[in-house]
């Protein structure tokens, strides 16, 4: 699935069909009351309909043609507003339906308590159950790999055709229900109950109808309601004032004035803007747990990034071997291979690959029946105790140095310098020793992902500071930071250090984003205002974050920030445009209502509109048609370019403020030329 192609189709025929039907369904007053501005318009539409059908019953003048026209225009105003929201919802539902198609009836090979395996429907699985998934089988639910290694096709979820490696332990053990095992076999512990899986949550969240309003949107709604009440009071008091000066204003005219003056444009588009913002994030294969997270992304000041798996590929691979003292490369390579024969970590496998690729040989018989010493956080070493009594170790330099010393050996003079050289180049040195002899160093290199420097430069232009957190030593951290182009870094950081830097930035009034994929990133992801977890990461990281990147691309945070800023800009721009519209409509309707009785009011008829009736209808028609014309902008969003806030404000005030004043003058005049001929 090509996400670029997905984004090209803004509105499809299926979405339009759905939206047209929903436009009428949403006329239900119980639905409309959730949008107070448009509910007032619907109420006015109903009153004008009664006055059109039963004018004598309400003591109104029998101006059937005018009243009917006002009713039709008001009805379309409400329908167009409903259409905007329904189109936005339709896009979300279309995505949800596509995801639902990936949910097929899956059978799971559940491991029984007695040790056997039983075939059961995936719907019967519960959190904590263990299943075995072989090549070609579908993973029955969200879980963590607890044994084995396999490649998994996640294209149904992420859209990425290339299968990804999943293995027990580390930060790449998380698997998603609905994905398929391409090769090998894995044992998976289920981490969610039916209906609570990642895919289930994704389906419910992309359906726009279930979206909760954000704090910013609620605040704007309150402002719109306040403006509506103010203009309602103004219009109600205008009738007796007009009567005092000899002008009899009919109820349809007053309702037309009210509808034109209240912020109907932004009132009709507000929900669509919010739903479309969530939808745009999903279009980039990012699952936002709430609209609040998307909005917060638009105001981010600082970004904290975990190095391993985020800025770098994460798997440190053997790229060279350096002998120390009197040893040679062949000796170091041979013993490094023997120490790694049973080491199933990515580092261990990469050592074996490097040795074979570079043509070095080793005696496998030495490792036969040997005892494998697993890596432990306490010892920071792994290795083999051979049958002949020899011992070989590889691990952190200081740990292996201490081990060699306890064996009665001495440390070569060039060990420290060569270790510092590897660290200064951004690598990780692993020492290799046999019995009491230090042989050399394995150069493990973690490569910075392509394009990261350019991406961080974009963030800098947005005014966002980037801080890299890593457990590496300061020399290695400085090299990676320089290569990646981040603004600052924290070396030898622990989970509590990441939380501390986030809290420090937040204490200064800044909004902080954090990206990560490991269990140790989970506390920081939860503390951050915007936590973006990688889909390839652990369950703990995804549960703690408020966004999940299905493509596991940490640089995706730039798109998320852009979409957040775009959402806020779109809402602000269309609010500015809507209020500016009201200024122009004032010059259309107010003079039209009074200039017959008060000729001096003609000076305010700056548009030169044909007659009072045509002026009112022209303003009302413009007020209705501007909503569907702005739907594509609300869906697509205002174009965002990295620049300072002051420049953005100036640009939008000119474009949408001044444009919002000028557009109605032109539009209403053109409509009036047609309406005046008809009247």
Q: Which residues are annotated as a binding site for Mg(2+)?
A: 517, 521
Q: Are residues 366 and 416 in the same domain?
A: yes
Residues labelled catalytic: 306
CATH classification at residue 387:
3.40.1110.10
Residue 27 lies in a domain: yes
Nearest Cα neighbor of 430 from 468, 470, 403 is 403
Give the tens place of pLDDT for each residue, 356-373.
889 888 888 888 888 888
pLDDT at 454 over 90: no
Same domain, 442 and 457: no
Q: What is the pLDDT of residue 447?
A: 73
Q: Are 89 and 212 within one domain?
A: yes
- Do 668 and 567 belong to one domain? yes
- For the segment 342-359, what is each residue's pLDDT rounded down to a tens digit? 887 778 888 998 998 898
Tokens representing 344?
Answer: 């199933």
What percent of the chain stands above pLDDT 90?
16
**Beta pairing class for 317-323 and 180-190:** unpaired
- Confidence at residue 58, expressed as pLDDT on a 0 to 100 scale: 58
pLDDT of amino acid 5 = 41
Whether the Cβ atoms of residue 3 and residue 284 lie closer than 8 Å to each other = yes
What is the per-residue pLDDT for 626?
A: 93
Burial (CB < 10 A; 0-12, 13-18, 19+), residue 215, is exposed
Where is pLDDT greater, at 451 or 204?
Answer: 451
pLDDT at 46 over 90: yes
Q: Are 281 and 294 a contacting pair, CB within 8 Å?
A: yes
Instruction: Render pLDDT for 460-504 as a digit per residue (tens, 0 to 9).
Output: 887 889 998 887 778 778 888 888 889 999 887 777 888 889 999
Binding residues for ATP: 343, 347, 375-382, 394
**Final residue before a domain boundary, out of 508, 523, 550:** 550
pTM of the predicted structure, to 2 decimals: 0.65
Give the domain range for residue 460: 286-311+449-550
pLDDT in tens, 144-198: 888 888 888 876 565 555 677 787 766 677 888 778 888 888 899 888 887 766 6
pLDDT the model gives residue 92:
65
Helices and strands (H and E) in the chain: how many: 24, 20
How far is CA 222 from each of CA 236, 267, 277, rounded to the nearest angstrom? 21, 11, 20
Per the structure, how many domains does the chain have?
A: 3
Beta strands 302-306; 512-516: pairing state: parallel
pLDDT at residue 105, rounded to an integer: 62
Q: Read off the pLDDT band of 6 (50, 70, 90).
A: very low
Mark out the alpha helices in 128-263 (DSSP H runs): 155-158, 198-206, 215-244, 251-261
Mean pLDDT of 426-438: 87
pLDDT for residue 549? 84
Same domain, 596 and 642: yes
Greatest distance between any 2 Cα atoms in the chain: 116
Q: State the binding site.
A: 343, 347, 375-382, 394, 517, 521
Confidence of residue 38 (pLDDT cuts 50, 70, 90): very high
Write down which residue in 447, 464, 480 finishes a domain. Answer: 447
- Chain centroid to CA 209: 18
Across the chain, what does the average pLDDT equal? Answer: 82
- Does residue 192 form part of some domain? no
pLDDT of 97-118, one tens digit each? Answer: 655 555 556 788 888 887 788 8
User: Could you say which of 414, 447, 480 is where a domain stops?
Assistant: 447
Torsion angles phi and psi, residue 324, rounded to 5: -125, 160
Strand ranges in 361-426 using DSSP code E only, listed in sequence order: 371-373, 381-385, 391-396
Tell whether the model's pLDDT for residue 607 goes beyond 90. no
Residue 642: DSSP 8-state: -
| Residue 363 sits in the same domain as residue 428 | yes
* Statement to judge: residues 236 and 90 lie in one domain: yes
Considering only CA atoms, give the Rg of the chain.
33
Chain position carrying tokens 């084995």: 148
Same domain, 442 and 504: no
Q: Name the band, by pLDDT with cuts 50, 70 and 90, for residue 40.
A: very high
- For residue 210, is pLDDT > 60? no
């Amino acid at each position: 699935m090509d996400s670029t192609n997905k984004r090209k189709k803004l509105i499809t025929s299926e979405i339009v069909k759905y939206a047209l039907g929903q436009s009428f369904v949403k006329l239900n007053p119980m639905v409309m009351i959730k949008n107070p501005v448009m509910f007032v318009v619907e109420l006015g539409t109903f009153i004008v309909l009664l006055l059109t059908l039963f004018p004598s019953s309400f003591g109104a003048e029998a101006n059937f043609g005018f009243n009917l026209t006002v009713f039709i225009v008001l009805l379309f105003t409400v329908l167009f507003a409903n259409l905007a929201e329904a189109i936005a919802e339709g896009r979300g539902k279309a995505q949800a339906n596509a995801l639902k198609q990936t949910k097929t009836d899956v059978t799971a090979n559940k491991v029984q308590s007695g040790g056997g395996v039983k075939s059961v429907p995936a719907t019967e699985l519960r959190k904590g159950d263990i299943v075995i998934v072989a090549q070609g089988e579908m993973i029955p639910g969200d879980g963590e790999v607890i044994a084995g290694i396999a490649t998994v096709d996640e294209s149904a979820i992420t859209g990425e055709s290339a299968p990804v490696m999943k293995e027990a332990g580390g930060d790449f053990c998380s698997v998603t229900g609905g994905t398929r095992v391409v090769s090998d076999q894995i044992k998976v512990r289920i981490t969610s109950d039916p209906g609570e899986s990642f895919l289930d949550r994704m389906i419910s969240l992309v359906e726009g109808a279930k979206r909760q309003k954000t704090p910013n949107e609620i605040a704007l709604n309150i402002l719109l309601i306040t403006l509506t009440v103010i203009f309602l009071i103004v219009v109600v008091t205008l009738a007796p004032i007009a009567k005092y000066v000899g002008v009899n204003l009919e109820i349809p005219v007053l309702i037309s004035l009210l509808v034109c003056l209240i912020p109907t444009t932004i009132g009709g588009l507000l929900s669509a803007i919010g739903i479309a913002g969530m939808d745009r994030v999903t279009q980039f294969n990012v699952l936002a747990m709430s609209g609040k997270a998307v909005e917060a992304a638009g105001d981010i000041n600082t970004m904290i990034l975990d190095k391993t798996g985020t800025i770098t590929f994460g798997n440190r691979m053997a790229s060279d071997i350096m002998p120390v003292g009197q040893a040679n490369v062949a000796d170091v390579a041979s013993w490094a291979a023997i120490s790694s024969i049973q080491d199933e970590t990515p580092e261990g496998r990469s050592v074996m690959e490097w040795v074979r690729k570079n043509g070095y040989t080793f005696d496998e018989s030495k490792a036969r029946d040997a005892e494998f010493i697993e890596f432990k956080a306490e010892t920071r070493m792994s290795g083999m105790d051979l049958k002949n009594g020899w011992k070989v170790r590889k691990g952190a330099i200081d740990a292996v140095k201490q081990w060699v010393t306890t064996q009665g050996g001495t440390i070569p003079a060039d060990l420290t310098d060569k270790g510092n050289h590897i660290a200064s180049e951004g690598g990780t040195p692993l020492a290799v020793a046999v019995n009491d002899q230090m042989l050399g160093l394995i150069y493990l290199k973690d490569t910075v992902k392509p394009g990261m420097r350019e991406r961080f430069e974009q963030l800098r232009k947005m005014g966002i500071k980037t801080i890299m957190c890593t457990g590496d030593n300061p020399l290695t951290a400085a090299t990676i930071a320089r290569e990646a182009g981040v603004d600052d870094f924290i070396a030898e950081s622990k989970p509590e250090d990441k939380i501390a830097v986030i809290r420090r930035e937040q204490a200064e009034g800044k909004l902080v984003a954090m990206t990560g994929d490991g269990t140790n990133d989970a506390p920081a992801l939860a503390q951050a205002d915007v936590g973006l977890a990688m889909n390839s990461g652990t369950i703990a990281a995804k549960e703690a974050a408020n966004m999940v990147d299905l493509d596991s691309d940490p640089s995706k945070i730039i798109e998320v920030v852009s979409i957040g800023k775009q959402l806020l800009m779109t809402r602000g721009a269309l609010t500015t445009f809507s209020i500016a519209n009201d200024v122009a409509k004032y010059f259309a309707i107010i003079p039209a209502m009074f200039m017959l009785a008060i000729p001096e009011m003609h000076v305010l008829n700056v548009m030169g509109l044909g007659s009072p009736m045509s002026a009112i209808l022209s303003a009302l028609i413009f007020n209705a048609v501007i909503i569907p014309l702005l739907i594509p902008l609300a869906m697509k969003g205002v174009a965002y370019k990295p620049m300072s806030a002051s420049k953005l404000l100036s640009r939008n005030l000119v474009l949408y403020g001044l444009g919002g004043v000028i557009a109605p003058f032109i539009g209403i005049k053109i409509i009036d030329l047609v309406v005046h001929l008809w009247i």
